[in-house]
Every structure is written in structure tokens, then in C-alpha cells.
């Protein structure tokens, strides 16, 4: 049988992870979610709780002091945190995004330098690919890197960098051969204390307000030569392989947001009375709720299947990952919008969490590749078959 058609199985360990993360999320993260959004401020309580429980970067292999969790366990962690606070779920999600290029392509020396501090919770990792004029078109990037003796020198600016200013390490894509298109892109690890590195403008955003999104700048930024990830010119390939693994985390975040909106809606419609009875008794409300739960569960299953394919490195991973992220994020936007509708006028106020969830859901359709790009990826994969 083609391994791409194998199904996944949730184990007792997966159930244990879910129960543990849910308890932490409800006790140590959810109480601060509203304040994190309104201030807005970084969810330090969430980081402290995730680090102390070991759920901040569960994907890092055991040989680098990590938990060595599989891809399904990783998306369960992100899903459960996003269920109460989308901003906080970006702590484990972006740690994976930033460090995955190292895990996939870096030298053993570099892995042993940068992965253990992240596994121990002493450092975080961000990912820097996009630029103002090079979002979906990565080949249009202007950031440059040149080898100068035993150092690489980087110049340029990256934007939309999640958790910038909070992370210690940054995986940075830069052109080492400007005339070679995507084959001229290389990947590097930059430390926050490297000379010439700085964090710039912080964006004011619609949602995920607790997670800082900033520009980062490189002005003759010098890093040791051994901080290149893989060989020169392999950065774009590493970036694409990384996204095959990490689009799942955005899908998981989307599923978590949708589930949080369903949970809030269930509690509200049972209590809210109109025309002398609970609005949960009205068929129109029941149909909305059923569709919300049905689509969220379908998205969850698609994410878990794709995570299983990531674990087995099946040939159709690129399609499965793009499909899972695209579907789950569209579902999250639909479900949270319906949740606001179920709450009526109250849903439009900050007294209830569904308006925050709706704002947070929107970004899942945009980052790590817009859903228009995901559909292009899927179509190309189909046409190759």
C-alpha cells in the first residue's frame, strides 16, 4: 500500500498531552487572554507556564535536550493553547517555525549550539523570510549576505516577524547570489546580540495583539561562518520543506480558535433566553451550531492526517499540509463569524471573547502563505501527478 494513504492513530500519550495542556491553558493562560489583547502586551504568563511544563517547544528531538514529540502531539499542544488564547499559541508554533530549518538542514555543530537552549526554555526562535516587497514572491527579496573571511555579513530588512524582540535566534533568508533566483537564497541563524542586528517597527494589528510583529534590520550584521544552514544556495529549498511541516501549526491554531468559539457559543446559547425559552431550542441556532462543529471537526481530522504524513515524510505532504492549513483557516474564519452572530449584539462587544477570536482567526488565512497561495500549491501538486 502507498504509505501516503495510511491513516493515523491517536495514542494514550496524545490524550495525556491534550489533557495536560488543556489544564495549563485554562488555569494559567485563559485568565490573562483578554488583558493580553486589550493592552496589548506579550503573554508572559503563558510563556512561563509553557516553559515550566515543557510545552513551549515539544518538537525538538531528544538528542538536543527536547521532548522529541511527534508532529501530532505538537499540533495538539498548539490547538489547545489557541483554544483559549491565539497569541499565546504562537509561542510553541513559532519556536517550531524558526527552528525547523535547523532541524532539517543545519550542520550537527549548529544544531548542538542553538537547539538545546530553546529546548530548555532559555531562548526562542523566530523565522525571517518576508520583506515589504517580497511576501509571496520570496525570490524578490533584497536582503543580501556575503562571505568575508570567517564571517557572513548581512544587509537588509525583514518584516512581519512574529515574536521579534522576544526571540533569541532568527532563521534568516538572504541572497548570496543575487542573479541566481531562488537558487541564490541561503539560510542563516542570527543571534539577537550579533553586531548590526536590530529590531525595528512594531506593527499595530487587527488580531493576535499579544504576539509582537516587527521589522528586523541587518546593517553590516556579522555572524560566524558556521551559522549558515546547509550549503549556500539551499535556503529556498529548506524554507519550502519547513513550510510543509509548519503550515500544520497554523492549521492547528485555526482549529483551536474555532473550538474556543464553539465552546463559548455553547455556554451562551444555553443561557440566553428569547420568546420565553433558551435560544438553543431554536432550530436555526441548532443548525448553525451543528455546521460550526462539523466543519471544525473536519478541519481537525485533516490537520492530524497531514501531521501524520509529516511524521512519515510521505510524497504528498506538500499537498496535504497546504490543504490542511487552507481548509482549517477558512473554517476558523467562518466559525468565529458565526459565533459572533449567535451572540447577537453582545458578540460585537469586548465583554465576550468571540469578537477577539474572530479578529485572531483572520491572520490564519494570511500568514505562512495566503490561502490563495495554498490553492496554487495544491493545484501544482495535482498537476505533477
For the CA atoms of 12, 10, 368, 209, the dihedral, rounded to the nearest 10 degrees, stands at: -40
Q: How far is residue 46's CA from residue 56's CA, in Å, rounded to a whole number?
A: 9
With 0-12 / 13-18 / 19 or more C-beta atoms within 10 angstroms meaning exposed / middle / buried, residue 148 is: exposed
User: What DSSP assignment string belongs to 321-338?
Assistant: HHHHHHHHHHHHHHHHHH
Q: What is the three-class DSSP state of 348? A: helix
Please give the biggest Cα pair distance in the chain: 79
Strand partners, 185: 175
Q: How far is residue 90's CA from residue 93's CA, in Å, rounded to a whole number?
A: 5
Cα 351 to chain centroid, rounded: 27
Q: How far is residue 103's CA from residue 95's CA, in Å, rounded to a whole number?
A: 12
Are residues 130 and 159 in contact, defined by beta-carbon separation less than 8 angstroms?
yes
User: What DSSP assignment string belongs to 77-144?
Assistant: HHHHHHTT-HHHHHHHHHHHHHHHHHHHH--HHHHHHHHHHHHTTS--EEEE--BTTBSS-GGG---E
| Residues belonging to the chain | 385
Check residue 349 and report its DSSP letter.
Answer: S
Query: What are the catalytic residues?
Result: 368
Amino acid at each position: 500500500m502507498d504509505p501516503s494513504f495510511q491513516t493515523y492513530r491517536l495514542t494514550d500519550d496524545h490524550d495525556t498531552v491534550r489533557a495536560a495542556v488543556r489544564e495549563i491553558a485554562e488555569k494559567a493562560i485563559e485568565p490573562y487572554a483578554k488583558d493580553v489583547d486589550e493592552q496589548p502586551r506579550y503573554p508572559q504568563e503563558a510563556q512561563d507556564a509553557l516553559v515550566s511544563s515543557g510545552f513551549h517547544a515539544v518538537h525538538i528531538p531528544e538528542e538536543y535536550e527536547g521532548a522529541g514529540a511527534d508532529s501530532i502531539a505538537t499540533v495538539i499542544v498548539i490547538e489547545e493553547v489557541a483554544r483559549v488564547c491565539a497569541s499565546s499559541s504562537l509561542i510553541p508554533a513559532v519556536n517550531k517555525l524558526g527552528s525547523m530549518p535547523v532541524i532539517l538542514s543545519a550542520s550537527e555543530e549548529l544544531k548542538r549550539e542553538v537547539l538545546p537552549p530553546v529546548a530548555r526554555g532559555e531562548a526562542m526562535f523566530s523565522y525571517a523570510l518576508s520583506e515589504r516587497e517580497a511576501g509571496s514572491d520570496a525570490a524578490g527579496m533584497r536582503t543580501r549576505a556575503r562571505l568575508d573571511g570567517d564571517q557572513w555579513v548581512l544587509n537588509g530588512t525583514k518584516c512581519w516577524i512574529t515574536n521579534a524582540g522576544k526571540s533569541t535566534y532568527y532563521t534568516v533568508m538572504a541572497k548570496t547570489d543575487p542573479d541566481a533566483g531562488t537558487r541564490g537564497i541561503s539560510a542563516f541563524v542570527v543571534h539577537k546580540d550579533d553586531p548590526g542586528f536590530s529590531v525595528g517597527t512594531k506593527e499595530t494589528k487587527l488580531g493576535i495583539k499579544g504576539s509582537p510583529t516587527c521589522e528586523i534590520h541587518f546593517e553590516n550584521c556579522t555572524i560566524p561562518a558556521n551559522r549558515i544552514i546547509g550549503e549556500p544556495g539551499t535556503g529556498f529549498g529548506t524554507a519550502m520543506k519547513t513550510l510543509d511541516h509548519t503550515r500544520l501549526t497554523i492549521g492547528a491554531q485555526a482549529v483551536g480558535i474555532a473550538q474556543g468559539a464553539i465552546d463559548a457559543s455553547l455556554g451562551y446559547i444555553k443561557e440566553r433566553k428569547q420568546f420565553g425559552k433558551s435560544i438553543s431550542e431554536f432550530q436555526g441556532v441548532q443548525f448553525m451550531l451543528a455546521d460550526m462543529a462539523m466543519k471544525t471537526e473536519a478541519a481537525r481530522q485533516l490537520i492530524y492526517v497531514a501531521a501524520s504524513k509529516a511524521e512519515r515524510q510521505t510524497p504528498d505532504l506538500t499537498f496535504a499540509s497546504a490543504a490542511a492549513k487552507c481548509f482549517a483557516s477558512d473554517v476558523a474564519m467562518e466559525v468565529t463569524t458565526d459565533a459572533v452572530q449567535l451572540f447577537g449584539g453582545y458578540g460585537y462587544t469586548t465583554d465576550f471573547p468571540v469578537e477577539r477570536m474572530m479578529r485572531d482567526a483572520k491572520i490564519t488565512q494570511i500568514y505562512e502563505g495566503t490561502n490563495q497561495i495554498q490553492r496554487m500549491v495544491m493545484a501544482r501538486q495535482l498537476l505533477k501527478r
